[in-house]
Structure 1
Amino acid sequence: MKISRSALMKTGAALIILAGGITAMQLLASTKAEAHKREVEAPVRKVETMVPRFSDLSYEVQGSGLIESAGRLQVSSTVSGKVSYSYKGLTSGTYAEKDQLLLKIDSRQAENTLNLARSELIKAVAALVPQFKSSDSGLYEKWNRYLASLDFTSGEIPDLPEAAGSREKLLISNYGIFSAFYNVRNAEIMVEQHSYYAPSEGFVRCEGIPENSFVAAGQPLFTLIDAENLEISVPLTVDELKRIDSSAGPSVTILSARENGSSLYGTVVSRNAELERSSQMIDVLIRFANRELKPDFAPGNYVDVHIEGRVMANTAAIPRHAVLDNSYVYTYEEGKLGREDVIIRAVSDDSVYIENTLPPGTRIVTTILQKPLIGMKLSPVGEEDEAEIAAAVEAGNHEKDS
């Protein structure tokens, strides 16, 4: 049977279309397979790394506590009487320099008693001196000089001359010199008890004592708080206490709890001998000086302290989060993730101190990894990446400005 030319052309066109469709399907299947292969391939993770530097490090123990005055003097009256002088009314917060007269109670009666006692001593010595006039031992000149040194205006009478022999001692006793002398000394003490001076500079805590008011013997007068010499009691665990040598007086940095606060320096002076039962901690006492009377370090402020610890030889400090299960770290090894065991010597809030047991040049991964697999591909963050980040930040700033 003879096939027409048009039928052949139609059949050929159909075959060509069929072949093209088959070829297109094969190409599409191949493309999907390649795409599937690319999706399975794991991406290279960017990580930050560090090479630990081993040296002799001093462990730092951190704690906190409340500042208190190292010198707190509570003063009570030893005599009764009317207040003749009160420094600025002795209101709370009054600042006093050392040796400043703070309070004086009317002492006229006590001064009269003192003058009477001095008069009796002068009278007794004047009666004694002629008894040595015929002596060639120099006793007359000695006691005559002592008599001349006695008067009513001197602040304190001089000590009695030392008796050289038994005859001199007997005469001194018979003329009542000893009793008269100590009566004067007691009267001097009584006069001094009417005046109260600041033994050191500090702040007064008192409800106020106005002049012409009356105070009774035994009445609390005021409390003088030393605002310059301060102390802090800081509780530490037994492990933390082992890290410091409290007998050597380790140095301490005292940090203000306020943002952008300043710092001062002190020393550990002592520690408690017993463990506190409820907290299972031991208090150490830190003392320091606030010479400039900075408000951040006034008594009553809560502060943080960093105590210098013992020196650990051949040790490195690494970020605390870089150590997993307190036993190992992830490492960067020729573009892949590795793992190395570590030995921990001490732990602080931010760092872990490890012994030098790692192979030389080990690079520890400090980036926190999600689902890490040993052998996975890594790429350390380098200078180029940091430059790209900085450029992106700069570009973002320009966009904000525009």
Structure 2
Amino acid sequence: MDKRKIILSILGVVLIIAAIFAAKAIIDSKEQPKPNIQKTVKTVFVDTIQNSTVSINIPANGNLVAKRRVELFAEVQGVFRYSSQPFKPGQAYKKGQTLLKIDAEEYAASVQSAKSDLYNQITAIMPDLRMDYPDIFDKWQKYLNNFDVNGSIPPLPEPESDKERYFVNGRGVNAAYYNIKNLEQRLVKYRISAPFDGVLTEALVTEGTLIRNGQKLGEFIDPDVYELQVSIAKQYADLLQVGEEVSLTNNNATKTYQGSVSRINARIDQATQTVSVFIEVEGSNLKEGMYMQANLDAKKEENAIEIDRSLVSDRNEIFIVQDSILQSIEVNPVYFSDKKAVVKGVPNGEVILSRQVSGAYNGMPVNIAEESETRSKDNSDKNSERLSQ
């Protein structure tokens, strides 16, 4: 009985080993097909290099602001009584016309009262002048004869001696005179006139409104000359000069205007590391607040080329094509924009990639696209750009 179990166990082990070897033989008998690796050669678009003078254009944008603008504030208190034109936004005024006149009857009466007091003070000293200073009496008498309470007070006669000066000052004439001059200056502030030909762009009060001291009344601008403030990176600020011509376009790029750099701020914004540049522009169709795009001709770089920014690697290298093989060469980038790069150091006649090739590497075999294929590709790119615009 024990022998029988042993024999059965041995047979079982043998069968298992035989099954393993049989399975291995079956697996090994299947032939694995060798993969057929096909090498694909990419077609690339190229340009032949010819170095030239490249204008470095710095794009910028901003909103127009009137160069001459006045914010109207009240320096006195009273009721808005009169304006030579309807005091409403968009209303044009000529230089010198009354923008806003505040009721000043009460204050004007106090000024006339002060003038009358001065007249009485001078009249009171006339007998003393006749007795003690007869040589200057006629001068002061003539001043009294020309004194008009309703008009602007005339300057006091110039003293001819220290005695005359001390006598007049001792009677308080000079103090009263300068007090009236101060009142007259304040009386002028009840009327605000247009400092230049312009347009009212903001009106915060209407006729009959009670105006308080320090209250803002509106804004007045000259609609003929505007300024565009743009921010330029600090590394390009030294390339700009006052007086340089600038091409401006509106938001839809349907109209072009010519401006010039009028001012360049001497301070760098610490938060953005940019410099403010102000561009002056004139045009009948321009309005304050209009969004404008500017192209500033910062510099002209000799012996350089302009290529797509994506062609320049992080190591400042670009690919050239030599005998249908890609090779990388080092270049010297002098300017980067959003889409373009200006580089130097590429020899004339060198054939470079004009479009980025994914997975490009040194020694990569390529085919150069035919001229007709290149043209069709350029036309399709232009059409896509038009559609995107």
Asked if Structure 1 and Structure 2 have the same fold, meaning a TM-score greater than 0.5 normalized by the shorter chain, the answer is yes
Equivalents in 2 of 1:388, 1:243: separation in Å? Answer: 35
> 2:85, 2:93 within 8 Å by CA — same for their partners in 1?
no
Aligned residue pairs, count? 336
Which residue identity does 1:95 align to in structure 2? A
Equivalents in 1 of 2:112, 2:77: separation in Å? Answer: 20
Equivalents in 1 of 2:375, 2:214: separation in Å? Answer: 76
Superposed CA RMSD: 4.1
Normalised by the size of structure 1, how large is the TM-score? 0.67
Q: What SS is found at the alignment partner of 1:75?
A: strand
Equivalents in 1 of 2:159, 2:374: separation in Å? Answer: 94
Equivalents in 2 of 1:41, 1:387: separation in Å? Answer: 20
More off after superposition, 371-380 vs 103-112: 371-380
- 1:222 equivalent in structure 2: 217
Equivalents in 1 of 2:204, 2:46: separation in Å? Answer: 62
- Corresponding residue to 2:173 among 170, 177, 195: 177
1:366 and 2:354 matched: yes
Displacement of 1:244 after TM fit? 1.7
Give unmatched runs, 5+ long, in structure 2: 1-37, 381-389
> 2:62, 2:229 within 8 Å by CA — same for their partners in 1?
yes
Displacement of 1:101 after TM fit? 0.8
Displacement of 1:362 after TM fit? 2.6
1:258 and 2:252 matched: yes
Displacement of 1:227 after TM fit? 5.4
> 2:44, 2:353 within 8 Å by CA — same for their partners in 1?
no
Equivalents in 1 of 2:171, 2:120: separation in Å? Answer: 10
- 1:287 equivalent in structure 2: 278
- Corresponding residue to 1:113 among 110, 114, 117: 110
Q: What SS is found at the alignment partner of 1:352?
A: strand
1:147-226 equivalences under 5 Å are 147=144, 149-152=146-149, 154=151, 156-200=152-196, 201-210=198-207, 213-218=208-213, 220-226=215-221
1:303-314 equivalences under 5 Å are 303-309=292-298, 312=301, 314=303
> 1:345, 1:353 within 8 Å by CA — same for their partners in 2?
yes
Displacement of 1:82 after TM fit? 3.3
Q: What SS is found at the alignment partner of 1:306?
A: strand
- 1:298 equivalent in structure 2: 288
- Corresponding residue to 2:270 among 244, 269, 275: 275
1:2-401 equivalences under 5 Å are 47-55=45-53, 59-69=56-66, 73-126=70-123, 139=136, 143=140, 146-147=143-144, 149-152=146-149, 154=151, 156-200=152-196, 201-210=198-207, 213-218=208-213, 220-226=215-221, 228=223, 230-236=226-232, 240-245=233-238, 248-249=241-242, 251=244, 252-267=246-261, 268-270=263-265, 272-276=267-271, 281-289=272-280, 291-295=282-286, 297-299=287-289, 301-309=290-298, 312=301, 314-325=303-314, 327-333=316-322, 338-355=327-344, 357-369=345-357, 374=364, 376-378=366-368, 381=371, 385=372
1:248–1:369 Cα change, 3 Å: closer
> 1:46, 1:380 within 8 Å by CA — same for their partners in 2?
no
1:293–1:271 Cα change, 3 Å: farther
1:138–1:310 Cα change, 3 Å: farther
Give unmatched runs, 5+ long, in structure 1: 1-38, 394-402
Normalised by the size of structure 2, how large is the TM-score? 0.68
More off after superposition, 126-135 vs 259-268: 126-135
1:342–1:221 Cα change, 3 Å: closer
1:76–1:318 Cα change, 3 Å: same
Displacement of 1:368 after TM fit? 4.0
Displacement of 1:351 after TM fit? 2.0
Which residue identity does 2:49 align to in structure 1? V
Q: What SS is found at the alignment partner of 2:264?
A: strand
Equivalents in 2 of 1:116, 1:170: separation in Å? Answer: 25
Equivalents in 2 of 1:253, 1:151: separation in Å? Answer: 59
Displacement of 1:270 after TM fit? 1.3
Q: What SS is found at the alignment partner of 1:329?
A: strand
Displacement of 1:178 after TM fit? 0.7
> 2:63, 2:228 within 8 Å by CA — same for their partners in 1?
yes
More off after superposition, 137-146 vs 61-70: 137-146
1:90–1:290 Cα change, 3 Å: farther
| CA-to-aligned-CA distance 1:96-131 (integer Å, 9 cap, x gap) | 343331211222222223333333334444555676
> 1:76, 1:221 within 8 Å by CA — same for their partners in 2?
yes
Displacement of 1:253 after TM fit? 4.0
How much identity, in percent, do the aligned residues show? 17
Which residue identity does 2:259 align to in structure 1? Y
1:289–1:203 Cα change, 3 Å: farther
Equivalents in 1 of 2:56, 2:374: separation in Å? Answer: 35
Q: What SS is found at the alignment partner of 1:358?
A: coil
1:52–1:149 Cα change, 3 Å: farther
